[in-house]
Chain A
Amino acid sequence: METFSGYRRADGRIGVRNRVAVLPTSVAASAVADRIAADGGPRVTATPHQMGTEQPEPARRRTERVLAGIGRNPNVGGALVVELGTEAAGASAIADEIAAGDTPVETLSIRDAGGTRAAIDRGREAVDALLEEAARARLESADASELVFGVECGGSDATSGIAANPAVGNACDRLVEAGGTSCFSETPEFIGAEHVLAERCVDESVRERLLECVDRRESVADLMGVDLRGTQPTPGNQEGGLTTIEEKSLGAIAKGGTTPIRDVVDYADPLPVGGGLVVMDTPGYDVESVVGKVAGGAQVIAFTTGRGSTTGNPIAPVIKVTGNPQTSDRMATNMDVDASTVLDGESVEAVGERVYETLLSVADGTRTEAERRGMAEFAINELQPRELASLGDPT
């Protein structure tokens, strides 16, 4: 049996880390949240972001969903929600949702505290109390089937589709076989490969939702009146040999593996435990995409990168897998798994097994290179004015 030791939460789920998250509700509270977390040690992480104090309604709902989802991630043993005190997205609403998942949670209003200095002091006290509470979590043996594994690619090149993505896909297959959940996303990187994915959907309803998501993402280019090639593939992708979005997509979808697609969920929506392979509708912009999956409950992320992306996440460990031998060599201090051996003849299955073993080891507590270096990028995929306008009048 494939097991690891994790933190059993009150609702039965298992965390692979025991973090205290400091979650600002708006950009106005982000700097304070950052300062509160700065002195708390590696177990305390903040999620500073740039969402405004007065987002339009649909955008505000998304911000709240992401923050509540992050707070409910099983890797979080305690959460402090920080607000200025006048935001439309209030701390108490987000804290209530987090508390509904039985996670210890506190709120802090900068206005009520009497200013930034007092708020930072009070926040540090609250974090200390949450750390104590989190320390009481039981560390116990858990089964691989309890893992929700998010997979991502960023800074892709031609090796991503040939080596790293198929290897990570193989690890996804192994986890699904063991009864767990694997989640891949980045809908713009389905463009040109959606017919391959559509054939793998378990039923018509899942298929329809998947194709609808792809259509909507592709129409974003129409929304901006430009050619998607202006950003996809990116300059680094192109330098690495990727010519078109179709080519990038056909390589990108390999990271989800080969099992049937059981569901399609919206950005930051909860991911099922024991759910097989699930697609989340996210942008290809990797930091925002990873955040969506972590908000959905993913405890561990694998991130393939040919060129060498170095980003992490404040809540979930991020395993970096590269298929490019030069990147594996030159950026060894930022990479966790070398999949470039596929180009030398090692089988995808063998490299996939290494990725899977790394997944279980990281779940068991082994720190990733990004964790060691405190790389913890965070951004929320905000609904933007032109996107909102295209939704029409919600009322």
Chain B
Amino acid sequence: MKGVVLDDAAVLLADGDTVATAITDLEAGRTIETEDLPDDRTVLEVAEPIAFGHKLAVTAIDAGEPIAKYGEVIGSATERIEPGEWVHTHNCESNRGRGDLAEGSA
């Protein structure tokens, strides 16, 4: 697998990514201890239950800021996201295919 596994809990797929993908169901309060976290952080506490395959923030992300996975932008934060929080459709939105924002659309 490309990327690094964080304490058997999640995988960080590229340098600079702001989210990691859970490779097991994570419980709230679990601590992920590794030197591979950004911001010189060595411990990340999981803030809420995060299911297998879902994403958690590995750094603070402000509303409107891009969210990065695979070393690429996958969307923007719709609200401030703290490290360890679940990142999904409730706080991250696509920047593409937005016919609802297109001019003159119904």
Contact = CB atoms under 8 A, between A and B. Distances in A.
A and B touch in the complex (CB under 8 A): yes
28 contacts: A162-B13, A166-B2, A191-B97, A192-B94, A193-B72, A218-B96, A220-B99, A221-B102, A225-B105, A226-B105, A227-B98, A228-B98, A229-B93, A238-B88, A240-B53, A241-B51, A243-B55, A243-B87, A243-B88, A243-B89, A244-B75, A244-B94, A245-B96, A247-B74, A247-B75, A306-B53, A343-B1, A345-B1
B53 A159 contact: yes
Interface string A337-355: 0000011010110000000
B61 to A, nearest CB: 13
A250 B69 contact: yes
Interface residues of B, number: 34
Contacts of A343: 1, 11, 23
Contacts of B99: 220-228
A200 to B, nearest CB: 14
B23 to A, nearest CB: 5
B53 A218 contact: no
A161 interface: yes
Contacts of A326: 52
Contacts of B21: 158, 162, 241
A321 interface: no
A244 B74 contact: yes
A221 B53 contact: no
Contacts, number: 118
Size bracket of the A interface: 35 or more
A188 B97 CA distance: 9
A244 B100 CA distance: 15
Contacts of A225: 99-100, 102, 105-106
A244 B23 CA distance: 19
Contacts of B88: 238, 241, 243
Contacts of A161: 70
Given A221-B102, A225-B105, A158 B53 contact: yes
A224 B52 CA distance: 34
A311 to B, nearest CB: 22
Interface in B1-16: 1-2, 11, 13
Interface string A198-234: 0000000000000000000010111111111100100
Nearest to A194: B96
B92 interface: yes
A222 B1 contact: no
B20 to A, nearest CB: 11
B1 A247 contact: no
Contacts of A244: 74-75, 92-96
Given A157-B53, A241-B53, A241-B88, A246 B102 contact: no
Given A221-B98, A222-B99, A225-B106, A162 B11 contact: yes
- Best-buried of A162, A166, A225 by chain B (most CB within 10 Å): A162
Contacts of A193: 72
A73 to B, nearest CB: 32
Contacts of B92: 243-244
Interface string A47-82: 000000000000000000000000000000000000
Interface string B45-64: 00000011111000000000
Given A191-B96, A223-B99, A225-B105, 12 more contacts: A162-B21, A222-B102, A226-B99, A229-B97, A241-B52, A241-B88, A243-B88, A244-B74, A244-B93, A244-B95, A326-B52, A342-B1
Interface string B20-36: 01110000000000000
B97 A221 contact: yes
Nearest to A229: B94
B106 to A, nearest CB: 4
Contacts of B102: 221-222, 225
B45 to A, nearest CB: 20
A250 B11 CA distance: 16
Interface string A133-162: 000000000000000000000000111011
Nearest to A238: B89
A287 B70 CA distance: 28
Nearest to B3: A162
A135 B17 CA distance: 56
A47 B22 CA distance: 41
A196 interface: yes
